[in-house]
Structure 1
Amino acid sequence: MSAAMIKEFRLPDLGEGLTESEILSWKVAVGDTVELNQVIAEVETAKAVVELPSPFAGTVAALHEQPGSVVEVGKPIVSFEVDDAGAAPSGAAAPAAAAGNADDASAAPAAPPAPKREATLVGYGAAVEQGGHPTRRQRNLPAAAAAPAAATVPVRAAVPAAANAPAAVVESERPSERPRSTPPVRKLARDLGVDLTQLSGSGAGGLITREDVQHFAEGAAAPASAGVPATAGRETRTPIKGVRKYTAAAMVQSAFTAPHVTEFLTVDVTAAMELLERLKASRTFQGYKLTPLTLAAKAVLIALKRNPTLNSRWDDAAQEIVQFNYVNLGIAAATPRGLTVPNIKDADAMGLLELSAALSELTETARAGKTTPAELAGGTISITNIGVFGIDAGTPILNPGEAAIVALGAVRKAPWVHNDELAVRQVMSLSLSFDHRLVDGEQGSRFLADVGAILSDPGMVLTMV
């Protein structure tokens, strides 16, 4: 007869070294019977909304966090009562030290070393290889998160939800030991001139978080607690968190790290718009959504082959310029949760038909709030289509880690000199921002001129490929 066990599920790292997530909603309640990989919760990271699947089949014994709570990676969020026979999927996690009452504490076995690879559950885990180049990343987790995501506890040793806490790794304090934090937090500290040895971490196991660094820099004694929108008098205050918080931090970091240069080019796109109408009427593209963005995206991909320096990034730690031999094309998308920039993997290998389908899928997924962290990671160059808002030009800020971003203005009918005569033509303004550490003015100008030439006369592609 199988013995019942309590399994704790700790919040995993959902990608890109993120240290916390907000519980948006629970899809289960205490007492519910769940199946393996059944969606049990919806959480929001700093980049996306993610559905969490259950790593076990069993009964929900306790929910340790309420909707709206911001939870550190590695902290228990739910406990399951499962049969010993079907407790965990193969390779899901190794048992951790039992967390019990005071009488059982001395008898609890020591936790075995954490496995080299984390459990890969539905929706997250080690990234698969894309288009022949690896996207798998080694994650630098806080100590509490380095423990297995699911811990085994005997039923008789179960404790109330309020008393459950992640098992902390106790280390001797050594003056020369580097303060515990993640690489993004250490970089933020360097940018703000904060000495991490002066901080006490508020995260799990003493982990120093971004909020600790930011509030120390601002002279605050402790991180501000999360709250809800509050209206007082004639103003409404909304807590800065989730996607909005991440986007703001990323834009500030980009603006003050990469020296931006922006160039503008207004072109006659009448020929491109006429081509677009012919393609829409053709049998080949029936059922596909074709827009000026579709043609502009293809023009950018073609121009990159002639100007590859714009498809690169600056690796400050290694003091190297990394040039990508593939293109993950980012498309800025306005969503109810804020600005996101999902990217199309290996867009350079796609024909116009495939690119059109990928753009439609990306847009629909972003609007539905279903973009995954994997779809947001690994971009190499981006496009922002401000023309859909009736805007002609702007100075876009680089997506962090990328060398260039192109802004597409609105297509408008305007007086234009065509064949030495004044005529009404369809024109568009292109804006290109680039990192001047990576891209010289000549390289940026040639790239923008190539994009403009293709949109002015699509036949020019024959001279470029």
Structure 2
Amino acid sequence: MSATMIKEFRLPDLGEGLTESEILSWKVAVGDTVTLNQVIAEVETAKAVVELPSPFAGIVAALHEQAGSVVEVGKPIVSFEVDDAGASPSGAAGSGEAASTESTAETAAKREPNLVGYGAVVEKSGRPARRQRTFDESAAEREPVREPVPFVEQPAVEPVPVVEQPAPLAVPNEPVVEQERPRSTPPVRKLARDLGIDLELVKGTGPAGLITRSDVQDFAAGAQPQLAVPELAPAAASAVGVSAERETRTPIKGVRKFTAAAMVQSAFTAPHVTEFLTVDVTPTMELLTRLKASREFAGYKLTPLTIAAKAVLIALRRNPTLNSRWDEAAQEIVQFNYVNLGIAAATPRGLTVPNIKDADRMTLLELSTALSALTDTARSGKTSPADLTGGTISITNIGVFGIDAGTPILNPGEAAIVALGSVRKAPWVHNDELAVRQVMSLSLSFDHRLVDGEQGSKFLADLGAILSDPATVMTMI
């Protein structure tokens, strides 16, 4: 008869160099039976929402973290009760419990592969090597590492009482009682400091009164000072669009936090240059209409972005310097001999730039299919980390918002980005006569360390030539 043992699953490194992730939701509960690779949770990294598969088949014994909590890579998040055919029988030397502990330690001594990456590197002690935190706190504020326990995790209690605020004045006949510091995690304490909130005033709703991020956010939403303004009747307030709250505060995290850091790094690292070109794209729009009506493209989604993306790929063949990267550490210029085409996508979680791998090898039909799949996946928040890294050049389609031109910021690690403006009818000189034509403005930002003005200008001119007369491609390939 096989024995059972407790297997602990630690939050894996998703291969993005991240130190923590937020558990958005659990797909299982304690007592549920799960199969190998069954999705057990949704985890949000700085770039994407990732479905976390189970590395074991068995019964969920304990969930060590709540939904909404930010967890460091390498910390236990769930324990499973699994069968162990090789475990010693109960009562024999080396009981089932001892065998379980030994096996668990042996398992933790190496990295275990799973569908989304590898577990944290584990030291000889059996505990994961701790990564450097992204904030600075004294050693006295750090919480002890919680040891894994079967089935139920006992919350760690910080033994040293600390008074973070000035001690209250003594009231006659009432002794002054030193209060223990409210229980919370380091990220939650940092959030409270950033929002100027005293944790003594926040009621914890987590296990054993633990103060969670949601508790701090809810307190911040309801504790903001209100300005003295005349009260409006509900009907009047609705008429003038006055919200019930004077301010709305949203924590900076996930995609928004990653995008902000990346854009600041790019803007202050790479010397940006932006050039503009307005072209008559009437021939391209006519080509698009013919392709949509053709049998070959029946059922496929064709847009101006599809044609523009193909034009960018063709123009890169003649101007390869725009498909490169500046390697500061190695002091080298990396020339890419392939194109991973990034497409900026606006999603409910913020801006992401997934890329199409080896887009330069695709036909127009294949590119159309890849673009449709990319945008659908991005909007659903299911873009994989692999699709968000490794881009070589990007396109941002600001025309869908009715914008003509802009100065896009480079995606970090890339030499150029193209912004496509809206297609508008406008008066244009065509065949020496004034006519109403469909025009588009193109914006090109490039890293001036890698791309000279001549190279950037030639690329933009080639792109404009293709879109104003698709037959020009015959002279370029």
- Residue of structure 1 equivalent to 2:233: none
Q: How many residues align?
A: 380
Structure 1: unaligned runs, 5 residues or longer? 88-99, 127-138, 148-154, 166-203, 217-224
Distance of 2:381 and 2:154 partners within structure 1 = 32
Answer yes or no: is the 8 Å Cα contact 1:263–1:432 preserved in 2: yes
1:400-446: per-residue Cα shift (whole Å, max 9, x none)? 11111000000000000111111100000000011111111111111
Equivalent residue runs for 1:217-296 within 5 Å: 226-227=213-214, 228=217, 230=221, 232=224, 233-296=245-308
Q: State yes or no: 1:305 paired with 2:317.
A: yes
- Residue of structure 2 equivalent to 1:347: 359
Answer yes or no: is the 8 Å Cα contact 2:108–2:122 preserved in 1: no
- Residue of structure 1 equivalent to 2:463: 451
Q: Secondary structure at the match of 1:14?
A: coil
Answer yes or no: is the 8 Å Cα contact 2:409–2:417 preserved in 1: yes
- Residue of structure 2 equivalent to 1:178: none
Answer yes or no: is the 8 Å Cα contact 2:323–2:336 preserved in 1: yes
Distance of 1:286 and 1:387 partners within structure 2 = 25
Structural RMSD (CA): 3.3
Answer yes or no: is the 8 Å Cα contact 1:432–1:448 preserved in 2: yes
- Residue of structure 2 equivalent to 1:385: 397
Aligned mate of 1:120, from 108, 113, 116: 113
1:339-373: per-residue Cα shift (whole Å, max 9, x none)? 00000000000000000000001011111111111
Q: TM-score, structure 2 length as denominator? A: 0.73
Answer yes or no: is the 8 Å Cα contact 1:226–1:239 preserved in 2: no
What amino acid does structure 2 have at the position aligned with 1:320?
Answer: E
- Residue of structure 2 equivalent to 1:158: 150
- Residue of structure 2 equivalent to 1:319: 331
TM superposition shift of 1:252: 0.8
Distance of 1:292 and 1:141 partners within structure 2 = 47
TM superposition shift of 1:289: 0.4
Distance of 2:448 and 2:247 partners within structure 1 = 40
- Residue of structure 2 equivalent to 1:464: 476
- Residue of structure 2 equivalent to 1:79: 79
Q: Secondary structure at the match of 2:283?
A: helix
Equivalent residue runs for 1:57-136 within 5 Å: 57-85=57-85, 118-122=111-115, 124-125=116-117
Answer yes or no: is the 8 Å Cα contact 2:41–2:52 preserved in 1: yes
Q: Secondary structure at the match of 2:7?
A: strand
- Residue of structure 2 equivalent to 1:20: 20
TM superposition shift of 1:160: 3.3
Answer yes or no: is the 8 Å Cα contact 1:270–1:427 preserved in 2: yes
- Residue of structure 2 equivalent to 1:359: 371
TM superposition shift of 1:258: 0.8
What amino acid does structure 2 have at the position aligned with 1:357?
Answer: T
Q: State yes or no: 1:399 paired with 2:391.
A: no
Distance of 2:448 and 2:318 partners within structure 1 = 18
Distance of 1:299 and 1:85 partners within structure 2 = 60
Distance of 1:80 and 1:23 partners within structure 2 = 18
- Residue of structure 2 equivalent to 1:136: none
Q: Secondary structure at the match of 2:113?
A: coil
When residues 115 and 344 of structure 1 are mapped into structure 2, their CA distance, relative to the original with a 3 A threshold, is farther
Distance of 1:235 and 1:50 partners within structure 2 = 31
Answer yes or no: is the 8 Å Cα contact 1:17–1:140 preserved in 2: no
Q: State yes or no: 1:438 paired with 2:464.
A: no
Structure 2: unaligned runs, 5 residues or longer? 88-96, 131-147, 158-184, 195-211, 225-244
What amino acid does structure 1 have at the position aligned with 2:296?
Answer: T
Q: Which runs of 4+ in 1 moved over 4 A?
A: 107-116, 139-147
Answer yes or no: is the 8 Å Cα contact 2:7–2:104 preserved in 1: no
Distance of 1:313 and 1:112 partners within structure 2 = 42
What amino acid does structure 2 have at the position aligned with 1:462?
Answer: M
1:213-256: per-residue Cα shift (whole Å, max 9, x none)? xx99xxxxxxxx84436254510111111111111111111111
Q: Secondary structure at the match of 1:359?
A: helix
What percent of counterpart residues are identical?
Answer: 79
